[in-house]
């Protein structure tokens, strides 16, 4: 996606859709609300491990401490229709980006990008509390940047 184009629908993707992508979904929504931008944000996983499940309790807890509510989100798996339905698909890491590049029609590859642009968003699932805090720090910083760029575009 051309960086100067403001999307109307954004999908954030990680592996299971219970840590990184729901965190990014909630933070992006909060930033968009503050900026009064009407952009739809959803999240999904490349795998179906947790479809229908709430985010990881640690993600919920750490996000809540910063004022984000993940408790009503439920994991889903990306579908082929999503490549057409979303203007921008922001991916947590290179492994999931590879998965999406294989699944996504070649003419839509321009919609795929790493969430952090030039680095991977670390997966906190197998780690300690500090990993969830790091994810929040990185997501908050990037969400603020994205919303600033999108606001300037309008």
* Residue 113 β-bridge partners: 90
Read off the pLDDT of residues 13-23 as tens digits, 9 standing for 90 and up: 999 999 999 99
Give the position of tokens 């490549």. Answer: 83
d(CA 70, CA 62): 10
Task: Give the start-to-end residue ranges of the domains of the chain.
Answer: 9-153
- Give the count of beta carbons closer than 10 Å to the beta carbon of residue 96: 25
Q: What pLDDT, on the 0 to 100 scale, is given for residue 115?
A: 98
User: The domain 9-153: what is its CATH number?
Assistant: 3.40.50.2300
Instruction: Give the pLDDT mean for 75-97.
Output: 98
Tokens read off for 104: 């996504």
pLDDT tens digit string along 100-148?
999 999 999 999 999 999 999 999 999 999 999 999 999 999 999 999 9
**Cross-strand partners of 89:** 11, 112
CB 85 within 8 A of CB 78: no
List, by residue number, the catalytic residues.
14, 20, 123
1 has pLDDT over 70: no
**Token digits for 95?**
């492994």
Q: What's residue 110's pLDDT?
A: 97
Q: What SS3 string covers 107-132?
A: HHHHHEEECCCCCCCCCCCCCCHHHH
């Amino acid at each position: 996606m051309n960086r100067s184009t403001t999307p109307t629908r954004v999908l954030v993707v990680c592996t299971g859709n219970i840590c990184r992508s729901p965190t990014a979904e909630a933070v992006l929504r909060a930033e968009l609300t503050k900026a009064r931008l009407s952009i739809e944000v959803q999240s999904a996983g490349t795998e179906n491990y947790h479809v229908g499940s709430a985010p990881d309790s640690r993600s919920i807890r750490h996000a809540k401490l910063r004022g984000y509510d993940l408790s009503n989100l439920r994991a889903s798996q990306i579908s082929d229709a999503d490549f057409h339905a979303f203007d921008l698909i922001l991916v947590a890491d290179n492994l999931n980006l590879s998965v999406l590049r294989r699944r996504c029609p070649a003419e839509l590859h321009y919609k795929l990008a790493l969430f952090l642009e030039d680095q991977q968003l670390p997966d906190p699932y197998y780690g300690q509390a500090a990993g969830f805090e790091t994810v929040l720090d990185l997501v908050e910083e990037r969400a603020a940047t994205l919303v600033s760029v999108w606001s300037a575009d309008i």
